[in-house]
């Protein structure tokens, strides 16, 4: 893993206030990144079940995509999200959540990223996201 890539990722995680608001962090094993969303009461959407807010799970997966992009294309501004499709598979329980992103295509202008989030078992994902992101290497 190149230093510039890690610096780029660190900058993304530390400079974006909303990342800190959610409490998201990442773990790196070489170039493989796992995003972690430690459980907090403030992330709950339904206190009766209880279940994580669907918007939190979607936002966490979107940030995972952006973090993975910052590793792969260091030195750029944070890409702009063009569109996302979130599929909810299971209710997110009151515990830590993990996510990994696959960059299916990183073009000069647009990236296509797929993210999967899970809790207890990687083989039982709670949600998936596919998104398009506008790369901003051409902008000042």
* Binding region for other proteins (CB under 8 A): 15-18, 20-22, 41-49, 51, 53-56, 58-60, 62-63, 77-78, 80-88, 91
Task: Please tell me the distance from the alpha carbon of residue 33 to that of residue 120, in angstroms, as a whole number.
Answer: 18
**How far is 88 from 115, CA to CA, in rounded Å?**
12
Count how many Cα atoms sit within 13 Å of the Cα of residue 92 in the half-sphere of its side chain.
30
**Nearest distance in Å: CB 122, other proteins:** 21
- Tokens 């083989």, located at residue: 123
The residue among 29 and 140 lying less far from other proteins, judged by its C-beta, is: 140
Least Å distance between CB 131 and other proteins?
9
Q: How far is the CB of 43 from other proteins (least distance, A)?
A: 6
By C-beta, is 1 or 82 nearer to other proteins? 82
Under DSSP, is residue 9 helix (H, G, I), strand (E, B) or coil? Answer: helix
Helix (H) or strand (E) holding 4: helix 3-15
Shortest distance, position 66 Cβ to other proteins, whole Å: 9
Nearer of residues 5 and 129 to other proteins, judged by Cβ: 129
User: How far is residue 98 from each of residues 22, 40, 67, 123, measured CA to CA in Å?
Assistant: 13, 14, 13, 12
84 or 106, CB closer to other proteins?
84
């Amino acid at each position: 893993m190149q230093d510039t890539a890690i610096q780029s990722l660190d900058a993304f995680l530390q400079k974006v206030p909303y990342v800190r608001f959610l409490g998201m962090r990442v773990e790196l094993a070489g170039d493989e990144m796992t995003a972690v969303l430690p459980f907090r009461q403030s992330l709950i959407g339904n206190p009766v079940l209880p279940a994580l807010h669907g918007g939190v799970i979607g936002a966490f997966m979107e940030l995972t995509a952006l973090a993975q992009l910052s590793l792969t294309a260091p030195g750029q501004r944070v890409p702009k999200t063009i569109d996302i499709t979130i599929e909810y598979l299971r209710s997110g329980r009151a515990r830590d959540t993990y996510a990994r992103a696959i960059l299916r295509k990183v073009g000069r202008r647009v990236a296509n990223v797929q993210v999967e989030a899970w809790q207890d078992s990687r083989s039982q994902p709670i949600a998936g996201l596919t998104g398009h992101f506008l790369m901003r290497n051409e902008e000042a």
